[in-house]
Structure formats: C-alpha cells, structure tokens
C-alpha cells in the first residue's frame, strides 16, 4: 500500500538532543542478529536510538561537523551522510514515513508544503542558524517523502583555494561571451562558478545578476553590484528571468543551469549582445557539451545555433571530483577529493571545428594547445597522478581514453627519470 501524505505535524518546541552520532560505511555489513542460523550468539545488540526526538538541525550540524557533502533522508534506512564521495549510515533506527515527513515539514513554510504536495518536487535553500546553508530537494519515492541536503559553505572559496587552474580567473575577466562549467551532478560545478563570480566581484566594477534554483552561495556587494534571484521565490522560470535580466543593465549573468532549448537560446543571444554569461550543463567533455547544446534544437535551427556558438563561446570547463590518494594532503575546501579539469578555450581552430560540425576533432586541438591554457581530461588526470594526488587506479577509472592516459603517464614518468 502506497503511503499518502500524513497530517503535517510541525513541533515548534525543540527537545534536547543528547545522542552521540556514530557512522558506519554503507558497504560494511551490519552486525547479524543474535540467534540467526549459523551465527554464534553474541552480547545483546545495543538498542539504536529513535529519530522521534531529533530535529533536522541536529543532523545538519553533524553534516557540518563531519565535513560531509550531503545528508539523505528516506524511509527504511537511518539518515545517510556522504563524506568524500562515500556513503555512511548513522546509528539511528530506520526512518519511518511519519518521521521523515516530520523532519522535513518542520522546516517548510505552509506555501512550500502546498507547492510540494501539488508538484511532488521542491527545491529550496535552508540556513542552519549562522553555521551553514544547504540546498534541499524534497521528493517522493515509493509513496513516501524523502529529501537530499547539500552543504553549501558560508564562505566562498577562491579558485586557488579549490586548486583549480589559474586560467579560470583570466576567463572570468572576459568582457563578453559564454562560459560553461560541465560535469556530473555533485562534482563541484556550482562551487567553481561561485568562485569565478566572486573573483569578478572582488576585481571588477560591474553589475552581476544570478538566476539560481535555489540560491546556493550568498554573495555580498564588493567592487561589483550583485543581485541574486531564486526560481520559485523571485521568478517563475529561467527563460523569463533571463529575458528580464537583459533589461536590468547587466554586465555578467549567471544562469544556474541551461535546462531547455529556450534558456540556451536566450543565453547565447545574451552573450552575443555583449554580456558575459556563465552557466552549467550536465555533460562530461567539451566536445560532448557542444554536441548536446546543438542537438536539443530542431534540425532547421541547428545551423544557426552552430554559428552562434562558434562566434560567442569563450570556454568549456569540464570537471569531476576524485578521491585523493592515501597520504595525499587534504584541502580544507575539497576535503578528501580533488577536481580534475578539462579546459577548452575557443581559439580560431576550435571555432572553425564548431562551425563545420567537426567536434570530434576538438580533443586533438585541446591536447596540443597547452600554451593557451588548455588541457584534456586525460592530461589533467596524468598531472594529478604524477603529483601523487590520486592513485593510478582512480586515474584509469576516470579516464576518457585509458590507453592514451597510459601513454601520457609513461611519457611523464620517463621524462622525470631521464629515460625514454
């Protein structure tokens, strides 16, 4: 029987929470129950605490304390934390439908509850006192309410603190054009964009408008004036907000995500009319990004989009977060993970390939254009491995072309030892 919405109960009285939260890796099997067939009787297992006396803030404070990136709430398992890419279960009893709904509804407004129960999806940001902010997605699975909380540090890290290539700072100073940051979900795209926007904010006197779903990092006015608009709170859609932004005297526009052809077309037009536009796409390489954008348009529009992209694209930055090698120094901003970054900068050769529909040749141009600040993903993986920051196994697992990466590593190791 599928779980319907329960009567919303939001307890405004905070109870004292005294349970010490312990973590167990998800891939580690739980202790077998005493009396199971073939299992030697052991001491009675300790009773796990219930979530009945827990407020969501208690769990979110643990996320911050453990430097976790995510908290997952769903029925049938205890709250789950993601730390350095790995999942850990907390030492609570499995959550019930009533408990998950209470934990989530206690931080929602009546209007947010109405929106969620109407659409069965809800994105919003949540501030944990003066400690941290979270990007929250509430959804239903198998008829029950669930949620994912993503930690957003209050301080915006710099490009250098994130150990990203310094060319990203130079790209952020371009006066116009389109810059895309791509990669899988949860691999730092929003943080990279926030660092680039903050660099502009600290170094240039311009008007910046961001359109986000939801607002993640909070920017303050520094040398620039920066206005942040949130989908659902300040605007109804990305296309509407983007059209309106063009009438608000912007110099720089950040679009949280290019989700549909309409948003993509307006973003390209904005870049074409003299604005610097930054956005994200869920793709894994520069060539794939260009193909994805062009392919979402009807065939009769694709030639025009191809020409517009070739003229207005500044760069594509594709990244993925990798676990650091054992013993490698940790970064206070990246924790146990480090970014591998492919950088494609639209030089004349690449513009010609985009215009002619020969995107399959783009990796070769990137590979031979290191002097211009470009690098392929496999070159980035080689450099991280040679520096001892990731393992050989991780490099091979994440390579776009494992055989090519083997040659790159062999060449780098040979050069460092003076052998061929």
CB count in 10 Å sphere of residue 282:
15
Q: Spell out the domain ranges in the chain.
A: 23-152, 167-375
Strand order in the sheet with 23-25: 23-25, 86-90, 80-83, 70-73, 144-152, 132-141, 121-128
Residue 27 burial class via C-beta count within 10 angstroms: exposed 0-12, middle 13-18, buried 19 and up: exposed
Six-digit token string for 371: 């002097």
Architecture of domain 23-152: 2-Layer Sandwich (3.30)
Q: Tell me, what's the pLDDT at 416?
A: 63
Q: Tell me, what's the pLDDT at 33?
A: 43
Greatest alpha-carbon pair distance for the chain in Å reads 74
Per-residue model confidence as pLDDT tens digits over 347-367? 999 999 999 999 999 999 999
**Pick from 23-32, 221-230, 336-345: least confident:** 23-32
How many percent of the chain have pLDDT more than 70? 90
d(CA 259, CA 238): 9
Q: Residue 105: which pLDDT band, with cuts at 50, 70 and 90?
A: very high
CATH fold of 167-375 reads Rossmann fold (3.40.50)
d(CA 23, CA 123): 27
CB 183 within 8 A of CB 189: yes
Return the SS3 of 361.
Answer: helix
d(CA 11, CA 49): 19
Q: What is the mean pLDDT of residues 246-275?
A: 96
The model's pTM is 0.85
d(CA 70, CA 83): 7
pLDDT exceeds cutoff 50 at 13? yes
| Helix/strand/coil percentages in the chain, nearest 5 | 35, 25, 45
């Amino acid at each position: 029987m599928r779980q319907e919405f329960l009567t919303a109960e939001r307890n405004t009285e905070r109870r004292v929470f005294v349970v010490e939260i312990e973590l167990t890796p998800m891939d580690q099997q739980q202790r077998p129950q005493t009396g199971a067939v073939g299992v030697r009787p052991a001491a009675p297992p300790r009773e796990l605490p219930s979530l009945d006396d827990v407020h969501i803030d208690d769990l979110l404070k643990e996320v911050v304390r453990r430097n976790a990136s995510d908290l997952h709430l769903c029925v049938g398992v205890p709250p789950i934390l993601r730390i350095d890419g790995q999942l850990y279960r907390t030492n609570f009893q499995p959550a019930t439908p009533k408990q998950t709904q209470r934990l989530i509804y206690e931080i929602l407004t009546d209007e947010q509850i109405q929106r969620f129960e109407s659409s069965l999806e809800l994105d919003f940001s949540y501030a944990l006192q003066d400690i941290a902010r979270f990007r929250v997605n509430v959804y239903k699975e198998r008829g029950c309410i669930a949620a994912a909380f993503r930690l957003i540090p209050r301080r915006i890290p710099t490009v250098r603190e994130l150990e990203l290539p310094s060319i990203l700072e130079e790209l952020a100073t371009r006066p116009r054009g389109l810059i895309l940051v791509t990669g899988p979900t949860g691999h730092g795209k929003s943080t990279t964009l926030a660092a680039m926007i903050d660099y502009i904010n600290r170094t240039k006197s311009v008007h910046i408008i961001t359109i986000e779903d939801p607002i993640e990092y909070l920017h303050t006015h520094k040398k620039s004036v920066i206005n942040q608009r949130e989908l659902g709170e300040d605007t109804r859609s990305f296309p509407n907000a983007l059209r309106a932004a063009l009438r608000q005297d912007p110099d720089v526009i950040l679009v949280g995500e290019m989700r549909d052809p309409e948003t993509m077309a307006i973003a390209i037009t904005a870049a074409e009319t003299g604005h610097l536009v930054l956005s994200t796409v869920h793709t894994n390489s520069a060539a794939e990004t260009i193909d994805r954008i062009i392919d979402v348009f009807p065939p009769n529009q694709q030639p025009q989009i191809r020409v517009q992209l070739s003229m207005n694209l500044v760069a594509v930055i594709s990244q993925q977060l990798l676990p650091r090698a054992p013993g490698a120094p940790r970064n206070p901003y990246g924790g146990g993970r480090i970014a591998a970054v492919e950088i494609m900068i639209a030089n004349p050769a690449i513009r010609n390939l985009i215009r002619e529909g020969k995107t399959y040749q783009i990796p070769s141009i990137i590979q031979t254009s290191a002097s211009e600040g470009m690098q392929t993903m496999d070159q980035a993986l080689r450099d991280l491995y040679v520096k001892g920051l990731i393992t050989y196994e991780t490099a091979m697992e994440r390579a776009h072309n494992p055989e090519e990466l083997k040659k790159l590593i062999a060449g780098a190791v040979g050069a460092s030892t003076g052998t061929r």
